[in-house]
Structures are given as C-alpha cells and as structure tokens.
Structure 1
C-alpha cells in the first residue's frame, strides 16, 4: 500500500492571518533550513572558523563545539550537504529542518516580553546582536539569538512550537503583540 505524505508546518491551523502588524510582532518562519553541527573531538576551533556567516547561512552557538546553523537561502537538504562538504572531517552535520521551528519576536518591547519568561539579562550590553544561548522560555528549551536592536529569534523543537507561541502570547499580554507567518 502506498501512502502520500504532505509537509505541514507545526503551526498550520493555529495561527490566523492578521490585517496588520502591531507594535510588537511574532513571525513564524515556514521555510528556514536548520542543521545541527557538532565539532569532531579536538576540532572545535577549525569548525568554528569554517562556520563564519557568509550570507548563505548563520551559525548560532548552541553549546561547546555545537552550533545551530540557519539558512533562508538553502533548502534543508542542500544546507546539510553544503555544510558537510565545507566541514569535512572537522564536524558532524545533522539536518534539523523538519524538527525545529524558527520564530522572530520583534518590536520596541521585545526584550521586555521575553524578560517575562526568560532568566537571562537581555540588555544590549549583556546580550548584543549576534549573541545566542540555549535558555528556558517559561518551561520550554529554546535557542535564543539577538538578531537586531529590537528583534530576537527563538528556535524550538517542532512539538513544542504551539506551546511556545501560547506562552509568548501570555508573556506579551500587557504589550501590543500580533502573530502571523513570516513573509520572507
């Protein structure tokens, strides 16, 4: 018996279209390629040197010798293959695109909203643009990265995406927040 499968985003059917973005906005990305890179033993410096962002992808710290690599340019299959070729024996690459969801929280109150559920100092001096860390957001593990003065990316496991969006809505209840799929 043959089965026909269709790719469905984890948040399809839970987020409705909005008329306009509010002061603070949570964008849910549909097509971000995500790969996990783990440096081979003793090869962390070499792998880090190869993972310098070049416009095709962005490497984010996930742990010692471990990075999440995101790309809006590559398809999931091509990102993992490209990274495997570039890194060679310096690191191991695993495609995580279908297991992770990428969200962007932006707006003048973005740091205040996140401060309601994250125990990390998000002041620009302590958490500058380009910094990333694995944190707990309420009770969920996310990779948080500052991508601009007033924007943060959150990468969460697919099965927890709906709970994270719900938590962020609660954290933003005293702020003007809209939620929609990203247009980029």
Structure 2
C-alpha cells in the first residue's frame, strides 16, 4: 500500500493570521534550509574560514567546531550539496531542515522580552550583531543569534517549536507582540 505524505510545518494550525503587525513581532519561518556542520578533527579553523557568510547562507556558532548554517536561498538538498563541495573533507554536514524551526523576534522591546526567559546579557555591547549562542529559553534549548540591533533569530528543535512560541508569548505579556508566519 502506498502512502502520500505531505510536509506540514510544526506550527501549522497553532498560529493564525494577524490583522496587523505590531511593534514587536515574532515571525515563524516556513522554508529555511538548516544544516549542522561539524569540523573534522583538527580542521576547525579551515572549516570556519570557508563558512564565512556570503549571502547564500549564514553560519552561526553552535559549539567548538560546530555551526548551524541557515539559508533562505537554498533548498535543504542544495544547501547540503553546496556545503559538501565547499568544505570537502574539512567537515561533516547533516541536514536539519525538517528537524528544526527558525523564529525571528524583532522590535524595540525584543531584548527585554527575551530577558524574561534567557539568562544571557543581551546588551548590544555584550551580545553584538552577528553573535550566536546556545542558550536555554525557560526550559528549552535554542540557538539564539542577534541579527540586528532589535532583531533576534531563535532556532529550536521542531518538537519544541509550539512550546517556545507559547513561552515567548508569556514572556511578552507586558509588551505589544504579534505572531505570524514570515513573509520572506
């Protein structure tokens, strides 16, 4: 017997369309290609040099010799293939596109909202644009990156995406927050 499977986003049916975007906004990305890159032993510096962001993808620190690579340009298969060509034997690449979800929190109160559940100094001097770290947001492990003065990306395991959105809504209770799927 053949089965016809359809790809469904982890948050389909849990967040609805909004009538207007507010000053603070949480955008859920539908089609981000995500790969985990693990440097081969002794080749972390070479892999890091190759993973310089170039507009096609963005590499974010995930741990010593580990990076999350995200792309809105590539499909998951082409991202992995492109990284394999560039990195060769310097690193191992694992597609994480269907196992992780990316969210973007932006607005004038984004850092204050995150400070309600993340034990990390989010001041621009301590956590500047381009910095990424693995952190706990309440009880959930996320990769947090500052991508603008008032913009943060959070990458979370797919099975925890709904809980993270719920936590962020609670963390933003005293702020004006809207939640919707990203349009880009």
Q: TM-score, normalised by structure 1?
A: 1.00
Partner of 1:97: 97
Per the TM alignment, residue 29 of structure 1 is displaced from its structure 2 partner at its CA by 0.1
Per the TM alignment, residue 22 of structure 1 is displaced from its structure 2 partner at its CA by 0.6
Q: Which runs of 5+ in 1 are unaligned?
A: none
Length, aligned pairs only: 184
Q: How does 1:62-141 map to 2 (within 5 A)?
A: 62-141=62-141
Per the TM alignment, residue 178 of structure 1 is displaced from its structure 2 partner at its CA by 0.2
Q: How does 1:40-51 map to 2 (within 5 A)?
A: 40-51=40-51
Q: Structure 1 segments of 4 or more deviating over 2 A?
A: none
Q: Does the residue aligned with 2:45 lie in a helix, a strand or coil?
A: helix
Partner of 1:164: 164
Distance 1:15 1:170 in 2: 15
Deviations 1:124-149 (A, max 9, x none): 00000000000000000000000000
Distance 1:132 1:179 in 2: 23
Q: Which runs of 5+ in 2 are unaligned?
A: none
Q: TM-score, normalised by structure 2?
A: 1.00
Q: How does 1:28-39 map to 2 (within 5 A)?
A: 28-39=28-39
Deviations 1:139-172 (A, max 9, x none): 0000000000000000000000000000000000
Distance 1:41 1:116 in 2: 38
Q: Does the residue aligned with 1:169 lie in a helix, a strand or coil?
A: helix
Partner of 1:179: 179
Distance 2:80 2:170 in 1: 35
Per the TM alignment, residue 23 of structure 1 is displaced from its structure 2 partner at its CA by 1.1
Distance 2:35 2:101 in 1: 12
Distance 2:15 2:152 in 1: 20
Question: Over the residues paired in the alignment, what is the CA RMSD in angstroms?
Answer: 0.3
Distance 1:105 1:31 in 2: 17
Per the TM alignment, residue 175 of structure 1 is displaced from its structure 2 partner at its CA by 0.2
Deviations 1:90-111 (A, max 9, x none): 0000000000000000000000
